[in-house]
Amino acid sequence: MNLRKIENKVILPSMTGITKPAFRNLCIKLGAELTFSECIDVERSLINGYLTGLAVQKIYLNKINGLNGVQLIDNNADRLKKMVKIVEPYCDVLELNFGCPIGWVMRLKKGAYFSSRPNEVNKLLSKIIKCTNKPIIAKFRIDSDFNNTIKFAKICDTLGLAAIHIHIRTIEDWFCGETDPKIFREIKDKIEIPIIGNGGIKNKKDICKFLNSGCDLVSVGQSSIYNPLIFSKRICISFFCSLLHYYLVDFLENHTLLLDINKQKDGLQYKLCVRLKYVMGILSRLKRKLIS
Ligand SMILES: Cc1cc2nc3c(=O)[nH]c(=O)nc-3n(C[C@H](O)[C@H](O)[C@H](O)COP(=O)(O)O)c2cc1C
Protein backbone atom coordinates (compact mmCIF):
# COMPACT_ATOMS: atom_id res chain seq x y z
CA MET A 1 0.00 0.00 0.00
CA ASN A 2 1.24 3.43 -0.92
CA LEU A 3 0.41 5.82 1.88
CA ARG A 4 1.15 8.74 -0.43
CA LYS A 5 -2.07 7.83 -2.26
CA ILE A 6 -4.17 8.90 0.70
CA GLU A 7 -6.00 11.82 -0.87
CA ASN A 8 -6.99 13.59 2.27
CA LYS A 9 -3.56 14.23 3.73
CA VAL A 10 -4.83 14.39 7.30
CA ILE A 11 -5.07 11.24 9.42
CA LEU A 12 -6.03 10.43 13.02
CA PRO A 13 -3.16 9.23 15.25
CA SER A 14 -3.49 6.74 18.07
CA MET A 15 -4.73 8.28 21.32
CA THR A 16 -5.37 6.00 24.27
CA GLY A 17 -8.79 6.64 25.77
CA ILE A 18 -9.83 8.70 22.75
CA THR A 19 -9.51 6.78 19.48
CA LYS A 20 -12.30 4.35 20.20
CA PRO A 21 -14.36 3.01 17.27
CA ALA A 22 -17.11 5.65 17.67
CA PHE A 23 -14.66 8.57 17.48
CA ARG A 24 -12.70 6.93 14.67
CA ASN A 25 -15.87 6.42 12.64
CA LEU A 26 -16.86 10.06 13.17
CA CYS A 27 -13.44 11.14 11.86
CA ILE A 28 -13.70 8.72 8.91
CA LYS A 29 -17.11 10.15 8.07
CA LEU A 30 -15.64 13.64 8.10
CA GLY A 31 -12.76 12.71 5.80
CA ALA A 32 -9.96 10.89 7.69
CA GLU A 33 -9.00 7.98 5.43
CA LEU A 34 -6.63 6.39 7.93
CA THR A 35 -7.28 6.23 11.66
CA PHE A 36 -5.33 4.41 14.36
CA SER A 37 -6.56 2.29 17.23
CA GLU A 38 -5.68 2.97 20.83
CA CYS A 39 -2.26 1.61 21.66
CA ILE A 40 -2.15 -2.12 22.45
CA ASP A 41 0.48 -3.18 24.96
CA VAL A 42 1.42 -6.58 23.54
CA GLU A 43 2.88 -7.92 26.79
CA ARG A 44 -0.42 -7.32 28.64
CA SER A 45 -2.73 -8.23 25.78
CA LEU A 46 -1.52 -11.72 24.97
CA ILE A 47 -2.35 -14.26 27.64
CA ASN A 48 -1.25 -17.82 26.84
CA GLY A 49 -1.19 -16.83 23.18
CA TYR A 50 -4.78 -15.52 23.27
CA LEU A 51 -5.83 -11.92 22.78
CA THR A 52 -7.65 -10.28 25.71
CA GLY A 53 -11.16 -8.87 25.20
CA LEU A 54 -9.90 -5.33 25.77
CA ALA A 55 -7.37 -5.67 22.95
CA VAL A 56 -10.05 -7.10 20.64
CA GLN A 57 -12.19 -4.03 21.31
CA LYS A 58 -9.26 -1.82 20.31
CA ILE A 59 -8.62 -3.65 17.04
CA TYR A 60 -12.23 -3.85 15.97
CA LEU A 61 -13.43 -1.11 13.67
CA ASN A 62 -16.89 -1.41 12.21
CA LYS A 63 -15.92 0.67 9.27
CA ILE A 64 -17.79 1.51 6.13
CA ASN A 65 -14.64 2.76 4.55
CA GLY A 66 -11.30 4.10 5.76
CA LEU A 67 -8.14 2.22 6.59
CA ASN A 68 -7.82 0.48 9.94
CA GLY A 69 -4.46 1.22 11.55
CA VAL A 70 -3.57 -0.81 14.64
CA GLN A 71 -0.89 0.39 17.01
CA LEU A 72 1.27 -1.96 19.06
CA ILE A 73 3.85 -1.29 21.75
CA ASP A 74 6.49 -3.73 23.01
CA ASN A 75 10.22 -4.35 23.10
CA ASN A 76 10.20 -8.09 22.56
CA ALA A 77 10.46 -9.27 18.97
CA ASP A 78 8.99 -12.75 19.54
CA ARG A 79 5.94 -11.39 21.34
CA LEU A 80 5.48 -8.72 18.69
CA LYS A 81 5.71 -11.29 15.90
CA LYS A 82 3.01 -13.41 17.55
CA MET A 83 0.77 -10.38 17.93
CA VAL A 84 1.34 -9.24 14.34
CA LYS A 85 0.22 -12.67 13.10
CA ILE A 86 -2.95 -12.44 15.18
CA VAL A 87 -3.99 -8.90 14.23
CA GLU A 88 -2.87 -8.68 10.59
CA PRO A 89 -6.09 -10.12 9.09
CA TYR A 90 -8.10 -7.40 10.84
CA CYS A 91 -6.11 -4.32 9.93
CA ASP A 92 -4.72 -2.47 6.92
CA VAL A 93 -1.66 -0.86 8.52
CA LEU A 94 0.40 -1.71 11.60
CA GLU A 95 2.14 0.94 13.64
CA LEU A 96 4.82 0.37 16.26
CA ASN A 97 4.90 2.88 19.07
CA PHE A 98 8.38 4.20 19.91
CA GLY A 99 7.10 7.54 21.16
CA CYS A 100 5.19 7.02 24.40
CA PRO A 101 6.91 9.17 27.09
CA ILE A 102 4.97 7.88 30.11
CA GLY A 103 7.25 6.95 33.01
CA TRP A 104 6.20 3.36 33.61
CA VAL A 105 6.29 2.62 29.87
CA MET A 106 9.83 3.94 29.56
CA ARG A 107 10.96 2.11 32.70
CA LEU A 108 9.83 -1.11 30.98
CA LYS A 109 12.12 -0.08 28.08
CA LYS A 110 9.24 0.53 25.70
CA GLY A 111 7.93 3.55 23.77
CA ALA A 112 10.10 6.66 23.86
CA TYR A 113 12.87 4.69 25.61
CA PHE A 114 13.91 3.95 22.01
CA SER A 115 14.12 7.62 20.87
CA SER A 116 17.80 7.77 21.77
CA ARG A 117 18.56 4.14 20.86
CA PRO A 118 18.18 3.77 17.09
CA ASN A 119 20.43 0.68 16.99
CA GLU A 120 18.08 -1.22 19.30
CA VAL A 121 15.18 -0.17 17.06
CA ASN A 122 17.07 -1.56 14.09
CA LYS A 123 17.39 -4.98 15.76
CA LEU A 124 13.71 -5.08 16.70
CA LEU A 125 12.28 -3.79 13.43
CA SER A 126 14.40 -6.00 11.19
CA LYS A 127 12.83 -9.05 12.87
CA ILE A 128 9.25 -7.77 12.69
CA ILE A 129 9.30 -6.57 9.12
CA LYS A 130 10.11 -10.05 7.82
CA CYS A 131 7.10 -11.70 9.42
CA THR A 132 4.31 -9.78 7.67
CA ASN A 133 3.22 -8.35 4.34
CA LYS A 134 1.23 -5.59 6.01
CA PRO A 135 2.65 -2.07 5.78
CA ILE A 136 4.51 -1.16 8.96
CA ILE A 137 4.94 2.36 10.30
CA ALA A 138 7.23 3.40 13.14
CA LYS A 139 6.00 6.26 15.32
CA PHE A 140 8.62 8.12 17.32
CA ARG A 141 9.51 11.43 18.91
CA ILE A 142 12.43 13.63 18.02
CA ASP A 143 15.33 13.17 20.41
CA SER A 144 17.15 16.03 22.14
CA ASP A 145 20.18 14.76 20.19
CA PHE A 146 18.85 15.28 16.66
CA ASN A 147 21.48 12.86 15.23
CA ASN A 148 19.56 10.03 16.86
CA THR A 149 16.39 11.14 15.10
CA ILE A 150 18.12 11.20 11.73
CA LYS A 151 19.63 7.78 12.43
CA PHE A 152 16.20 6.46 13.45
CA ALA A 153 14.65 7.76 10.21
CA LYS A 154 17.45 6.31 8.07
CA ILE A 155 17.04 2.89 9.70
CA CYS A 156 13.31 2.88 8.92
CA ASP A 157 14.12 3.92 5.37
CA THR A 158 16.71 1.18 4.85
CA LEU A 159 14.39 -1.44 6.27
CA GLY A 160 11.69 -0.33 3.82
CA LEU A 161 8.98 0.65 6.25
CA ALA A 162 5.74 2.03 4.77
CA ALA A 163 6.33 5.38 6.51
CA ILE A 164 7.70 7.07 9.58
CA HIS A 165 5.36 8.95 11.87
CA ILE A 166 7.25 11.67 13.71
CA HIS A 167 5.97 13.60 16.70
CA ILE A 168 8.10 16.75 16.70
CA ARG A 169 8.32 17.06 20.46
CA THR A 170 10.97 15.57 22.71
CA ILE A 171 10.23 13.39 25.75
CA GLU A 172 10.62 16.49 27.94
CA ASP A 173 8.08 18.43 25.84
CA TRP A 174 5.51 15.77 26.67
CA PHE A 175 2.33 16.53 24.62
CA CYS A 176 2.26 20.32 24.63
CA GLY A 177 3.98 23.43 23.39
CA GLU A 178 4.50 25.14 20.05
CA THR A 179 6.24 23.14 17.33
CA ASP A 180 8.23 24.10 14.26
CA PRO A 181 7.79 21.82 11.23
CA LYS A 182 10.95 23.16 9.54
CA ILE A 183 12.94 20.25 10.99
CA PHE A 184 11.11 17.85 8.67
CA ARG A 185 13.07 19.28 5.74
CA GLU A 186 16.32 17.97 7.22
CA ILE A 187 14.86 14.47 7.60
CA LYS A 188 13.12 14.52 4.22
CA ASP A 189 16.40 15.16 2.38
CA LYS A 190 17.88 11.98 3.81
CA ILE A 191 15.14 9.40 3.29
CA GLU A 192 12.79 8.12 0.58
CA ILE A 193 9.85 6.70 2.54
CA PRO A 194 6.83 8.91 3.35
CA ILE A 195 6.85 11.08 6.45
CA ILE A 196 3.77 11.56 8.59
CA GLY A 197 4.22 14.79 10.53
CA ASN A 198 2.65 15.18 13.95
CA GLY A 199 2.64 17.61 16.85
CA GLY A 200 0.86 20.87 17.51
CA ILE A 201 -1.37 21.11 14.45
CA LYS A 202 -4.36 23.26 15.32
CA ASN A 203 -5.87 24.34 12.00
CA LYS A 204 -5.72 24.13 8.20
CA LYS A 205 -2.92 26.72 8.10
CA ASP A 206 -0.73 24.48 10.30
CA ILE A 207 -1.55 21.50 8.06
CA CYS A 208 -0.28 23.45 5.03
CA LYS A 209 2.87 24.43 6.93
CA PHE A 210 3.64 20.79 7.73
CA LEU A 211 2.92 19.61 4.18
CA ASN A 212 5.11 22.38 2.75
CA SER A 213 7.94 21.39 5.09
CA GLY A 214 8.31 17.92 3.58
CA CYS A 215 5.59 15.86 5.24
CA ASP A 216 3.65 13.56 2.93
CA LEU A 217 0.81 13.27 5.42
CA VAL A 218 -0.01 14.83 8.77
CA SER A 219 -1.79 13.53 11.82
CA VAL A 220 -3.86 15.67 14.16
CA GLY A 221 -4.30 14.49 17.73
CA GLN A 222 -5.59 16.78 20.45
CA SER A 223 -7.10 19.41 18.12
CA SER A 224 -9.22 16.78 16.40
CA ILE A 225 -10.95 15.96 19.69
CA TYR A 226 -12.81 19.27 19.76
CA ASN A 227 -12.65 19.91 16.02
CA PRO A 228 -13.03 16.69 14.04
CA LEU A 229 -13.99 18.85 11.06
CA ILE A 230 -10.24 19.35 10.61
CA PHE A 231 -10.32 16.14 8.54
CA SER A 232 -12.74 17.49 5.98
CA LYS A 233 -11.44 19.05 2.80
CA ARG A 234 -14.24 21.57 2.65
CA ILE A 235 -16.46 22.89 5.38
CA CYS A 236 -18.96 20.09 5.55
CA ILE A 237 -22.31 21.79 4.99
CA SER A 238 -24.36 18.62 5.34
CA PHE A 239 -22.72 17.93 8.71
CA PHE A 240 -23.57 21.43 9.96
CA CYS A 241 -27.16 21.09 8.71
CA SER A 242 -27.56 17.75 10.53
CA LEU A 243 -26.15 19.26 13.72
CA LEU A 244 -28.43 22.32 13.45
CA HIS A 245 -31.42 20.11 12.77
CA TYR A 246 -30.60 17.95 15.78
CA TYR A 247 -30.27 20.93 18.14
CA LEU A 248 -33.46 22.58 16.83
CA VAL A 249 -35.54 19.42 17.25
CA ASP A 250 -34.07 18.92 20.73
CA PHE A 251 -34.89 22.53 21.68
CA LEU A 252 -38.46 22.26 20.34
CA GLU A 253 -39.08 18.98 22.19
CA ASN A 254 -37.83 20.48 25.44
CA HIS A 255 -39.71 23.74 25.04
CA THR A 256 -43.08 22.12 24.22
CA LEU A 257 -42.66 19.83 27.21
CA LEU A 258 -41.92 22.84 29.41
CA LEU A 259 -45.02 24.69 28.16
CA ASP A 260 -47.08 21.54 28.62
CA ILE A 261 -45.90 21.05 32.21
CA ASN A 262 -46.57 24.71 32.99
CA LYS A 263 -50.09 24.42 31.53
CA GLN A 264 -49.48 26.97 28.78
CA LYS A 265 -50.82 24.82 25.98
CA ASP A 266 -53.20 27.47 24.71
CA GLY A 267 -50.56 30.12 24.11
CA LEU A 268 -49.06 31.18 20.77
CA GLN A 269 -45.63 29.82 21.73
CA TYR A 270 -46.92 26.29 22.15
CA LYS A 271 -48.75 26.38 18.78
CA LEU A 272 -45.62 27.72 17.07
CA CYS A 273 -43.47 24.95 18.59
CA VAL A 274 -45.89 22.24 17.48
CA ARG A 275 -46.01 23.62 13.91
CA LEU A 276 -42.20 23.89 13.76
CA LYS A 277 -41.84 20.33 15.07
CA TYR A 278 -44.19 19.21 12.30
CA VAL A 279 -42.05 20.99 9.66
CA MET A 280 -38.86 19.48 11.11
CA GLY A 281 -40.47 16.04 10.94
CA ILE A 282 -41.26 16.52 7.23
CA LEU A 283 -37.70 17.72 6.60
CA SER A 284 -36.13 14.66 8.25
CA ARG A 285 -38.43 12.28 6.34
CA LEU A 286 -37.46 14.08 3.14
CA LYS A 287 -33.76 13.82 4.03
CA ARG A 288 -34.09 10.09 4.76
CA LYS A 289 -35.82 9.58 1.39
CA LEU A 290 -33.13 11.52 -0.45
CA ILE A 291 -30.33 9.52 1.24
CA SER A 292 -31.96 6.13 0.55
C1 LIG B 1 -4.85 11.51 25.62
C2 LIG B 1 -3.76 11.14 24.67
C3 LIG B 1 -3.46 9.80 24.46
C4 LIG B 1 -2.45 9.45 23.57
N5 LIG B 1 -2.19 8.13 23.35
C6 LIG B 1 -1.27 7.78 22.41
C7 LIG B 1 -1.05 6.42 22.09
O8 LIG B 1 -1.65 5.51 22.66
N9 LIG B 1 -0.13 6.13 21.13
C10 LIG B 1 0.58 7.12 20.48
O11 LIG B 1 1.39 6.81 19.61
N12 LIG B 1 0.39 8.41 20.78
C13 LIG B 1 -0.52 8.76 21.71
N14 LIG B 1 -0.74 10.07 21.98
C15 LIG B 1 0.02 11.08 21.25
C16 LIG B 1 -0.76 11.56 20.01
O17 LIG B 1 -0.97 10.53 19.09
C18 LIG B 1 0.03 12.66 19.31
O19 LIG B 1 1.25 12.13 18.88
C20 LIG B 1 0.31 13.85 20.23
O21 LIG B 1 -0.83 14.22 20.96
C22 LIG B 1 0.83 15.04 19.46
O23 LIG B 1 -0.07 15.45 18.47
P24 LIG B 1 -1.06 16.70 18.71
O25 LIG B 1 -0.20 17.86 19.10
O26 LIG B 1 -1.76 16.87 17.38
O27 LIG B 1 -1.99 16.30 19.80
C28 LIG B 1 -1.72 10.45 22.90
C29 LIG B 1 -2.02 11.79 23.13
C30 LIG B 1 -3.03 12.14 24.00
C31 LIG B 1 -3.33 13.59 24.22
pLDDT digits (tens, 9 = 90+) for 120-147: 999 999 999 999 999 999 999 999 999 9
- Amino acid type, 5: K
Angle made by CA atoms 103, 109, 115, in degrees to the nearest 5: 85
Nearest atom within ligand 1 for CA of residue 176: 25
| CA of 38 relative to ligand 1 center, distance in Å | 9
Average pLDDT of the chain, as a whole number = 92
Question: With a 6 A CB cut-off, is 135 part of the ligand 1 pocket?
Answer: no
Q: What mean pLDDT is predicted for residues 166-180? A: 96
| CA of 239 relative to ligand 1 center, distance in Å | 26
pLDDT of 194 reads 97
Nearest atom within ligand 1 for CA of residue 179: 25
Residue 172: pLDDT above 70? Answer: yes
d(CA 206, CA 217): 12
Burial 134-159 (b: 16+ CB within 10 A, else e): bbbbbbbbbbeeeebbbbbbbbbeeb
Number of H helices, E strands in the chain: 12, 10
| CA of 122 relative to ligand 1 center, distance in Å | 23
pLDDT of 265 reads 85
Instruction: Please indicate whether residue 257 or residue 209 has the higher confidence score (pLDDT).
Output: 209
pTM score of the predicted model: 0.84
